[in-house]
Amino acid sequence: MTEDALVIFTPSGKRGRFALGTPVLTAARQLGVDLDSVCGGRGICSKCQITPGYGEFSKHGVTVEADALSDWNAVEDRYKRIRGLTEGRRLGCQAKVMGDIVIDVPPESQVHKQVIRKSATERVIAMDPATRAYYVEVAEPDMHEPTGDFERLALALRDQWQIEDVTCDLRLMRRLQPVLRKGEWKVTVVVHKGNHDTTPRILDIFPGFNENPLYGMAIDLGSTTIAAHLCDLADGRVLASSGVMNPQIRFGEDLMSRVSYAMMNPGGDVEMTRAVREAINSLAGALAVEAAVPPTSIYETVFVCNPVMHHLLLGIDPVELGQAPFALATSGSLSLDARDLDLSVLNASARVYILPCIAGHVGADCAAVALSEEPGKSDDMVLIVDVGTNAEILLGNKTRVLACSSPTGPAFEGAQISSGQRAAPGAIERVEIDPATKEPRFKVIGSDLWSTEAGFAEATATTGVTGICGSGIIEAVAEMRMAGLVDQAGLIGSPEQTGTPRSISVGRTHDYVLHDGSAEGGPLITVTQGDIRAIQLAKAALYAGAKLLMDEMGVETVDRVTLAGAFGAHISPKHAMVLGMIPDVKLDRVVSAGNAAGTGARIALCNVASRNAIEATVHEIHKVETAIEPRFQEHFVNASAIPNAVDTFPELSKIVTLPEVSFNTSGSGGDRGRRRRG
């Protein structure tokens, strides 16, 4: 019997082996995992709540048995009875490691709360929402003309507002008669009129003239982050925006890992569906509190999501999406009752609209980007890149639009990085390296000062410097390439080769020290050779997808590049191009679209005609399947170099001169090479 066990924490990805009987909180502290505790592990504060995962986790290479944690104890039982504990949660100070275990740290248990970067983008939207309020005067009942109250309400809507053939559910029918009489036959009805030939439905009814505003939510359900915007359906204003980590991360950081979890663990898809629906309910409730509106006044929600998230939200097993021909259960748009998705926080009659998917690996989120950015109306050739754990890519103009998805993985989100973390106060987000001295400076989330500026230590005293997030690692690797610390192949040079003691030997490879806070009890933050490889794999997948679309389109270059999502808003075009993430183009032709998928969701929420438009558009977008295209691997291998092994990047070379260094000492006697590949 083994004396220790492997403990893996998500979403940080940090892992380590611990003696059996070690409290989860102790393991988290030793690994530097962001798990809160105020009471010192006495089971009083409940800040250290965690969610264990059980079953087979192929992504992590472990199988978690049902007895991987110690049994539920009296402290946890007392806390649950008195204050309540979400089903499936444990207290990290009480649960002890008894076997290999995957543990998710929920957002509310993290000391450094994640900064959700998918904020709402300012956008002028022509208001024509599917859900509106109508004031009507209903004819009173007449013994000589016997008709039901509902039929006379429907007649009033037809005559006064030209709304034909309305329906309502039984719950609302039970309220109808007392409300009509209380309002003396004058009522305000909330009616949902969907797109196409959707039957109008009464969602609510109030006596008299009711001016209470109606609200809707636009939700971008991503693999890593769930971002939501609460909007006023009268004018489209965003009243509150927030987001949470997708709790499904504990089942796998990327989409195929989650499909694999569903394949290998009977009922795994049900677990993931329950987890994401609970998170959406919590997020909706938090938005309502932030905006100071009753959640029961939220009458409609629009979702955009990739195909795997789409199926798991709907409660459909995603197993078919894990193998060719990547068949969707349904690709069309969906109009549902919110209660079908267990969205119990909203109004009991609330409606849900889900944008159509384009293909098995190109989902409603890509359709939302197309709705927001409208590549099919562009005069020039535009490449639109929405980067997350899975990248959605669009290329086209008025003539034709192509789409594909590319499996970039979670490295751009700060995962699979040695000192990586999610975007939170204290995380390094900007990096510059002096090419002469090889000395770095950086900015962290929560402070506007560079690390070399006076007052930086005081400004970051509360948060400290805790790690490096996605934008930080991207800039760090690009800066290391420009400073001659990394060669084209992605190798980090030795101290002798680079001329700096910040390059340190670790086994047969080297790390670059970005920040050493160990003297003050802080972390040693380095960029490792493994980190470089993770970024190379991610950016190569992204670039290869773009090149496939360019091949299909028959073009060698693009006229402009639009970066969408949190990535686009926080990465400089220069660093993206130095890495070779995007095709060569003039830097002033690279723009950010912010959270384009979220913007597309808001457009669909506020303008019902846009739903018809995107449903027609998705049929005109041609899907390129990266998984079966033979040239993808060729492009991928070439794009693994920094910036590329064969593409020359002439526009980039006008503003950046990359050092011609080679640190591959195989057969070279260890001398510093000057050869540049490509």
Q: Which residues contact 20 (CB under 8 A, 6 or more apart)?
A: 2, 3, 4, 5, 96, 97, 98, 99
Alpha-carbon distance of 609 to 611, in angstroms, equals 5
CATH C-level class of 4-109: alpha beta
Residue 665's pLDDT is 72
Fold of the CATH domain 366-410+534-653: Nucleotidyltransferase; domain 5 (3.30.420)
Work out the average pLDDT over 525-540.
Answer: 94
Residue-wise DSSP of 325-383: T---S--S-EEEEGGGGT-TTS-TT-EEEEPPPSBTTB-HHHHHHHHHH-GGG-SS-EE
* pLDDT for res 143: 85
Read off the pLDDT band of 116 (50, 70, 90). low
Q: Is the pLDDT of residue 11 over 60?
A: yes
CB 52, CB 95: distance < 8 Å: yes
Least confident of 185-199, 231-245, 607-621: 185-199
Helix/strand/coil for 531:
helix
Domains 131-207 and 366-410+534-653 equal at CATH topology level:
no
φ and ψ at residue 147, rounded to 5 degrees: -140, 155
Residue 674 has pLDDT above 50, yes or no: no
Q: What is the pLDDT of residue 350?
A: 96
Helix (H, G, I), strand (E, B) or coil at 405: strand
* Distance, CA of 327 to CA of 283 (rounded, Å): 30
Tell me what pLDDT residue 326 has: 84
pLDDT at 13: 75
Q: Hey, which CATH number is domain 131-207, 3.10.20.880, 3.40.50.1820, 3.40.50.1970, 3.30.70.1140? A: 3.10.20.880
Q: Categorize the per-residue pLDDT at 675 as very low, low, confident or very high, splitting at 50, 70 and 90.
A: very low
Given a cut of 80, whether residue 175 has pLDDT beyond it is: yes
Residue 676 has pLDDT above 70, yes or no: no
What does the domain layout of the chain look like in residue ranges?
A: 4-109, 131-207, 366-410+534-653, 419-526
Supply 604's token pair.
């669909």
Give tens-digit pLDDT for 283-339.
Answer: 999 999 999 999 999 999 999 999 999 999 999 999 998 887 888 999 999 999 999
Report whether the peptide linkage leading into residue 643 is cis, meaning its omega lies within 30 degrees of zero: yes
Cβ proximity of 381 and 553 under 8 Å? yes
Q: So what's the pLDDT on residue 197?
A: 61
Quote the pLDDT of residue 1.
58
Q: What is the rounded average pLDDT of the residues 84-94?
A: 88
Q: What is the pLDDT of residue 117?
A: 52
